Structure 1
């Protein structure tokens, strides 16, 4: 599918809270997935000004270019599959236009040749299906930072809100305003410069 609406809820965790959730739910029984996000932006931060983000994700030897844009229900994600060669070109600032993301970028007034590679973030992820949602425990590494996060991906806002509240309450974890990974990545990048 080239487009989808992503409805997700996030909560940053301490390492101890991460371990508590890992023990409470059957995360031991699921495979550890390692994925790397490669982020892109224009020199004048046009994507950020539109509340959008662009990344390439390598997961299970598959490369996917994804543009995330604000949507009333969550985030509109537009995807294109990349070959390894195309992904490497992007990372070397030799962008290749793709059929799904190109028109979306054009709507934002962004040409592919304006984009620049910013850096990467690697996540070690465990996923479970839980009460009609997908719950995710992430341990992410970027620049000299690492963080822990609970994500709930849900078919609707009410389902997602109920599931994350139930899990946080069960582990006595406070709800925290949590920026998405790209915002945390930007913050770390600025601190490192």
Structure 2
């Protein structure tokens, strides 16, 4: 998947360079040809590069995701991949139409605090329904999800942790593909190239 993503992104760049004949002649002339390429060429390159970024995100999430489910007590630290999470406390909170148990979990990497996450276990009295609200720390290279489970009879709380590498690249790639499509549609050939009307045959009588 990573190799396919690299092939798509690099292939799009190489095609642009070939169309502009980069490296042939003066540098300024090469960049002038690159700047004057039709917008459809730029759009096609962006769309292919965006597809590569999406494939990269899917491949990384599929291959290198980390999932950890355990029982943690207040004050306890536990490792998840390259991170260390510490359950600092559980407090009862109240929302507009629910009550909740809210955890405070500190995420550290190499001993340095990188995020404070507050997942919730909510209960809606009217619907008699319990829900789990995960806390998310988003980043360009990974997403860190933490969800609070039920209290355990032996003490502590169930804590679920997920590390999703390059998850946001899936959406970045989709946006790049959409941008490529928009740029292609702004190409002058599509805006102005209306077909000419055929000339009427000699002797034709206009309709009444």
Q: What TM-score do you get using the length of structure 2 for normalisation?
A: 0.23
Larger Rg: 2
Q: Comparing both structures, which one devotes a greater share of its residues to strand?
A: 1
Q: Comparing both structures, which one devotes a greater share of its residues to helix?
A: 2
Q: Which of 1 and 2 has higher RCO (CA within 8 Å, sep 6+)? A: 1
